[in-house]
Amino acid sequence: MPTIRVYEPALCCNTGLCGPDVSQDLVTFNADLDHLQSRGADITRHNLANDPDAFARNPIVMNYLQAVGTDGLPLVLVDEVTVMTGRYPDRVTLTRLAGMADRPDLGLIAVPKASADAGSCGSSGCC
């Protein structure tokens, strides 16, 4: 089974669901993640504020941070291959990445993003 690792910007809590305006992206991703995990997918999220060690230990993530910076997060790795940057995968994509779609049809979905959305409390310091 593919291992999916999502490296997220520094969110004030594990899910980032807080702050003056809760981010729709994070609400949706959180629900999708729960859904896929309940189906047995191997997905783990790492929050920079909670789990800096996970970032420091992975050379791919370190290189990405050096080159692009935290504004380029989230970074999605599948079996240590970068498949998406700067945004969260939706449920259909996640399902495919997890190898659970009816017709696994995996392509590289790296989409550069103009403005980084760090999430609702990415920079609010709410916690």
The 8 Å CB, 24+ separation contacts for 40-43 are 40/1, 41/1, 41/4, 41/94, 41/98, 41/100, 42/1, 42/2, 42/3, 42/4, 42/98, 43/4, 43/5, 43/6, 43/94, 43/98
Query: CB-wise, 43 or 65, nearer to another protein?
Result: 65
Q: Closest approach of Cβ 90 to another protein, in Å?
A: 12
Q: Does 55 bind another protein (CB under 8 A)?
A: yes
Please identify which residue in 51, 87, 99, 101 interacts with another protein, judged by CB under 8 A. 51
| Burial category of 126 from C-beta neighbours within 10 Å (exposed 0-12, middle 13-18, buried 19 and up) | middle
Q: Hey, which residues between 84 and 123 contact another protein (CB under 8 A)?
A: 121, 123
Query: CB-wise, 112 or 125, nearer to another protein?
Result: 125
Total number of residues that touch another protein (CB under 8 A) = 40
Q: Does 13 bind another protein (CB under 8 A)?
A: yes
Q: Does 66 bind another protein (CB under 8 A)?
A: yes
